[in-house]
Chains A and B, each alone.
Chain A
Amino acid sequence: GQQVMQIPQYQHVQEGEDFTTYCNSSTTLSNIQWYKQRPGGHPVFLIQLVKSGEVKKQKRLTFQFGEAKKNSSLHITATQTTDVGTYFCAGPLLIQGAQKLVFGQGTRLTINP
């Protein structure tokens, strides 16, 4: 069935290193959303990408939507301890005849200070 897959599942970096998580869909997406969940917290919406090849930046975070609108990435430059958490991508997929927002399994980022 249609699904959204994220890699890696876990990533541990030294503070100051860069971090990238990748999101792949089995089908073309009308948009992709990214969320961040801090440890013990709840998912918080970060950004939505809509256009093919779109790139958006939020300070040290860079979000890309692939040309085919089937993949996306989140890149964090020079990680800080405040970046710790799980990053989820989510996209609208057709599940059992209904369009729903489907979340990837997330990439859990831990940082060594």
Chain B
Amino acid sequence: DAGVIQSPRHEVTEMGQEVTLRCKPISGHDYLFWYRQTMMRGLELLIYFNNNVPIDDSGMPEDRFSAKMPNASFSTLKIQPSEPRDSAVYFCASSMDSMGNQPQHFGDGTRLSIL
């Protein structure tokens, strides 16, 4: 079975530009998570969805960040406008559970650099 698929793998853009990250979860997983990883802050949960519905977005840094899940096989994380401090690795993960009773399966991540 295919794992979690993310695109693009790398993104370099200038500040102020819109950035869209994409994720396809594992089929049959009802939960999708977006994480951000930096050296300073480690792995941070930004938002998660259950059956395509956003459940908890308390980790989203500010209004410049938005996430959608239009169907069970696709999600996007958008940053508009982007800023240099948004530079990080963004991971998407999926699971059969949100409460930590099942493992999470991570995609390869998107390495984002905002100049």
- B101 partner, pick from A30, A41, A102, beta carbons under 8 A: A30
* 27 A–B contacts from the bound complex (CB under 8 Å): A31-B101, A33-B100, A33-B103, A41-B108, A42-B106, A42-B107, A42-B109, A43-B93, A43-B106, A48-B103, A91-B100, A92-B101, A93-B100, A96-B58, A98-B55, A98-B56, A99-B98, A99-B99, A100-B45, A100-B48, A100-B56, A100-B98, A100-B100, A101-B99, A101-B104, A102-B100, A103-B43
Given known contacts A42-B91, A42-B106, A42-B108, A30 and B42 CB-to-CB distance under 8 angstroms: no
Chain A residues proximal to chain B, CB less than 8 Å: 30-31, 33, 41-45, 48, 88, 90-93, 96, 98-103, 105-106
What residues of chain A lie closer than 8 Å to B106, measured between beta carbons? 42-44
Bound together, the chains give a CA A88 to CA B45 distance in angstroms of 14
By the criterion of a CB under 8 Å from any partner CB, how many residues of chain B are at the interface? 20
- A88 partner, pick from B43, B48, B55, beta carbons under 8 A: B43
Question: Once the chains bind, are B42 and A105 in contact (CB under 8 Å)?
Answer: yes
What residues of chain A lie closer than 8 Å to B45, measured between beta carbons? 100
Question: Once the chains bind, are A45 and B104 in contact (CB under 8 Å)?
Answer: yes
CB < 8 Å A-B pair total? 51
Question: Once the chains bind, are B43 and A43 in contact (CB under 8 Å)?
Answer: yes
0/1 interface trace, chain B 18-61, chain A, CB 8 Å (1 if under):
00000000000000000000000011010010000001101000
| B68 part of interface (Cβ distance < 8 Å) | no
What residues of chain B lie closer than 8 Å to A44, measured between beta carbons? 106
Interface of A is mostly: strand
**5 new A-B pairs (CB below 8 Å) besides A100-B45, A101-B104?**
A42-B107, A42-B109, A101-B99, A101-B100, A102-B100
What residues of chain B lie closer than 8 Å to A103, measured between beta carbons? 42-43
List the 5 closest A-B pairs by CB distance, nearest first. Answer: A92-B100, A101-B100, A45-B103, A99-B99, A42-B106
| B105 part of interface (Cβ distance < 8 Å) | yes
